[in-house]
């Protein structure tokens, strides 16, 4: 009998706590770009630590999902990392919260250090197939790209222009596996998010410009894509507060210290 009482009282306390948690909290859901997802999670944590009246959930799914769920209302904020937003996103209010450079990377053993936009296009289209044509050793080029639909891939192809990826290019499904593939194969070339460059791969200069943060901010390095937050209709209430927080000095500092380039 005593046990039953104990259990009931514990349950009652739990129920009280749970109901207390949800009370009066505004829920915001972000969905979309996997490139921005970790940053959004970090920003959400920081924001919630000072604003406990808001509860923010961050989901991935890719830029297409971001646009779709902002449109359908499944998420209050959609995240997209595309150079040109598609038709469906026209009706949404878009805010650029950060920028991300796309680095063209090769194996550190490769002597090539500088490519022009035309050379990059020809390599990915299969017109240039040997490294000696661009000043490297006599070795066939292994092209590594992302899967169709990836935001990084469509941004890359839109900036380089007229890319019609050659058929035998290897396809990897994330920035991380692109990095591993390029790190393992001395003759390969790929592209990935600027924030993910490490010592196992070597970024090349594009048209003489390095993919450093300074040259991206100065607007010299051309492979840069904006990261958009998309909201249906006007931004209001907590959604607006959260986006304002991301754009504030504090939010932009978080973005910068984790490898992305601030919007301003």
Partner 1 sequence: MKLISEKGVKRILGTVAFSAISVLFLIALFILNEGLPFIFKYGIKEFLFSSDWQPQQNKFGIFPMITASLWVTFGAMLIGAPLGVAGAFFLSEYVPKTIMKIIKPTIELLAAIPSVVYGFIGVMVLAPIIRENFGGPGLSLMAASIILGIMILPTVISISIDSILAVPQSYREGSLALGATTWQTIYMVTVKASKSGIIASIILGLGRAIGETMAVIMVAGNSVNIPHSALDSVRTLTANIALEMSYATGLHRQALFATGVILFIVIIILNSFASVAIRKRARKK
Burial of residue 191 (CB within 10 Å: 0-12, 13-18, 19+) is buried
Does the footprint of partner 1 cover residue 118 (CB under 8 A)?
no
Nearer to partner 1, 86 or 135 (CB): 86
Does the footprint of partner 1 cover residue 33 (CB under 8 A)?
no
Does the footprint of partner 1 cover residue 158 (CB under 8 A)?
no
Residues 6+ positions from 70 with CB-CB distance below 8 Å:
31, 32, 76, 77, 78, 89, 92, 230, 231, 232
Window contacting partner 1 (CB under 8 A); options: 100-108, 147-155, 209-217, 226-234: 147-155
Nearer to partner 1, 62 or 251 (CB): 62
The token pair at 245 is: 């927080």
Does the footprint of partner 1 cover residue 79 (CB under 8 A)?
no
Does the footprint of partner 1 cover residue 37 (CB under 8 A)?
no
Question: How far is Cα 166 from Cα 134, in angstroms, rounded to an integer?
Answer: 18
Interface positions, 83-102, toward partner 1 (CB under 8 A): none
Nearer to partner 1, 94 or 170 (CB): 170
Nearer to partner 1, 128 or 216 (CB): 128
Of 185, 195, 217, 240, the one binding partner 1 by CB under 8 A: 185
Question: How far is Cα 199 from Cα 68, in angstroms, rounded to an integer?
Answer: 37
Q: Which helix (H) or strand (E) holds 203?
A: strand 202-203
Of 119, 150, 155, 193, the one binding partner 1 by CB under 8 A: 150
What is the separation, in whole angstroms, between the first and last Cα of the chain? 66
Window contacting partner 1 (CB under 8 A); options: 8-16, 40-48, 127-135, 173-181: 173-181
Give SS3 for 195: helix
Question: Maximum CA pair distance of the chain?
Answer: 86
Question: How far is Cα 109 from Cα 264, in angstroms, rounded to an integer?
Answer: 36
Of 37, 56, 59, 62, the one binding partner 1 by CB under 8 A: 62
Smallest distance, Å, CB 175 to partner 1?
13
Give SS3 for 227: strand
Angle at 75 between CA 72 and CA 76, to 5 degrees: 100
Nearer to partner 1, 146 or 243 (CB): 146
Window contacting partner 1 (CB under 8 A); options: 61-69, 92-100, 101-109, 190-198: 61-69
Question: How far is Cα 178 from Cα 243, in angstroms, rounded to an integer?
Answer: 31
Which residues sit at the interface with partner 1, rule CB under 8 A?
34, 60-65, 68, 140, 142, 147-150, 154, 167-173, 177, 180-181, 184-185, 188
């Amino acid at each position: 009998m005593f046990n039953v009482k104990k259990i009931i009282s514990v349950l009652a306390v739990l129920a009280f706590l749970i109901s207390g948690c949800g009370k009066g909290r505004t829920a915001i859901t972000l969905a979309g770009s996997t490139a921005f997802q970790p940053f959004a999670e970090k920003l959400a944590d920081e924001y919630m630590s000072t604003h406990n009246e808001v509860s923010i959930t961050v989901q991935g799914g890719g830029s297409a999902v971001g646009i779709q769920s902002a449109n359908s209302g499944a998420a209050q904020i959609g995240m997209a990392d595309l150079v040109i937003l598609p038709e469906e996103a026209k009706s949404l209010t878009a805010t650029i919260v950060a920028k991300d450079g796309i680095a063209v990377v090769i194996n550190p053993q490769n002597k090539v250090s500088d490519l022009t936009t035309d050379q990059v296009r020809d390599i990915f289209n299969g017109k240039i197939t040997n490294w000696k044509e661009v000043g490297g050793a006599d070795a066939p080029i292994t092209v590594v790209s992302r899967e169709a639909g990836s935001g990084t891939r469509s941004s890359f192809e839109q900036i380089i222009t007229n890319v019609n990826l050659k058929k035998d290019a290897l396809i990897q499904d994330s920035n991380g596996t692109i990095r591993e593939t390029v790190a393992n194969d001395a003759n390969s070339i790929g592209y990935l998010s600027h924030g993910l460059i490490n010592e196992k791969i070597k970024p090349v200069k594009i048209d003489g410009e390095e993919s450093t943060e300074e040259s991206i901010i100065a607007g010299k390095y051309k492979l840069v894509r904006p990261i958009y937050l998309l909201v249906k209709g006007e931004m209001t209430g907590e959604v607006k507060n959260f986006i304002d927080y991301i754009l504030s000095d504090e939010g932009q500092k978080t973005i910068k210290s984790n490898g992305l380039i601030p919007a301003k």
